[in-house]
A = this chain, B = another copy of it.
Amino acid sequence: VKIVVINPNTTESMTQAIGVTATAVASAGTTIIATQPVDGPVSIEGFYDEAFAVPGVLEEIRRCERWDTPPDAYVIACFDDTGLDAARCVTAAPVIGIGEAGCHLASLLAPRFAIVTTLARAIVALGHNVKKYGFGERCVRIRAAEVPVLALEEPGSDARQMIDREIAAALRDDGAEAIVLGCAGMTALTRSLSEAHGVPVIDGVAAAVKLAESLVGLGLRTSKINSYAAPLSKTYKGRYAGIVAP
């Protein structure tokens, strides 16, 4: 089983960290290939950054699809599930977003969960996704720790304390019984946060790898009959002149 994990931003250290996490949870027969787009922002914090990250994600998938042995599945490793619907049009291999993955597994472990993400400006965008996936009631609240994405990698930052505070509030005030970490950069804290708070804490990257393995193991592939059908053939102009329908 070959799974390509795409970090939609262009920060290599984060791609590597995500690859380490994904590899650590992968099953014996699974190969993880962590990659990132050539083009796009160094982090995704809001609607604007996301827009410039999506084309690179799609091109990365198209590049992999041309391999002699294309991947069995893809993981999109940003919590806003950057370009997920479009990615499913490009390949029949399963594509899993870490945002949806975290929510799916959380809802198997607790009746109500909360998401703790980085910045408040992301809450509305994540809320759109959560409702679209069907978790609008099971996810009782999306909280922001107000930690910038790249600060999660800085040794001296107080990111951990700020995340702790939001988790505690979610359990005490919101009725959450499990926590989904709302950023790929929080991956390394998962186990420690779970032990500290006494509830399941779900990392989307790990969750997505297992869901991808699950679908591949069952031979299931994306439905192509309508919404996720291959793009229609047409001309792309300017900067995207080389783009063709897969």
Seen from chain A, the residues whose Cβ lies within 8 Å of a Cβ on chain B are 10, 25, 27-29, 37-43, 45-52, 54-56, 58, 83, 85-86, 88-90, 94, 96, 100, 104-105, 107-112, 120-121, 123-125, 128, 131-138, 148, 171, 175, 177-178, 191, 198-200, 202, 206-207, 210-211, 213-215, 217-223, 225-229, 231-232, 234-240, 243, 245
Q: How far is the CB of A152 from chain B (nearest CB, A)?
A: 15
CB distance from A125 to the nearest CB of B (A): 7
CB <8 Å contact, A52 and B55: yes
Q: Is the CB of B235 within 8 A of A56?
A: no
**Copies of this chain per assembly:** 6
**Is A240 in contact with B41, judged by CB distance below 8 angstroms?**
yes
Beyond A38-B238, A124-B226, A210-B215, 4 additional contacts (C-beta under 8 Å) are A40-B240, A41-B240, A54-B54, A55-B55
Cβ of B110 and Cβ of A217 under 8 Å apart? no
Q: B124 contacts A111, CB within 8 Å? A: yes
Please give, as numbers and ranges, the residues of chain B lying within 8 Å of A50 by CB-CB distance.
86
Contact of B46 with A231 in the complex, beta carbons under 8 Å? yes
Smallest CB separation, A156 vs chain B (Å): 21
Nearest chain B CB to A110's CB is how many angstroms away?
Answer: 4
A237 with B42: CB separation less than 8 A? yes
In Å, the complex CA distance between A29 and B239 comes to: 36
Cα distance A125–B227 in the bound complex, in angstroms: 8
> How long is the Cα–Cα vector from A112 to B226 in the complex, in angstroms?
10
Which of A211, A239, A245 gathers most chain B CB within 10 Å? A239
Decide yes or no: A86 and B47 within 8 Å by CB, A39-B238, A133-B107, A228-B177 being known contacts: yes
Top 6 A-B residue pairs of the complex, sorted by shortest distance between their CB atoms: A39-B238, A210-B214, A134-B134, A39-B239, A110-B223, A48-B231
Query: Which residues from B are CB-within-8-Å of A43?
Result: 234
Chain B residues positioned under 8 Å from A175 (CB to CB)? 123, 226
Chain B residue numbers with a CB within 8 Å of A207 are: 214, 218
Q: Are B198 and A225 in contact (CB under 8 A)?
A: yes
Q: CA of A217 to CA of B138 in the docked complex: distance in angstroms?
A: 24
Interface pairs (30), CB distance under 8 Å: A37-B238, A40-B240, A42-B234, A45-B232, A47-B89, A47-B228, A48-B58, A48-B90, A49-B231, A51-B58, A55-B55, A55-B239, A105-B211, A108-B211, A109-B220, A109-B223, A110-B222, A112-B124, A120-B226, A123-B226, A123-B227, A128-B132, A175-B226, A191-B219, A199-B225, A202-B218, A206-B218, A207-B214, A210-B213, A210-B217
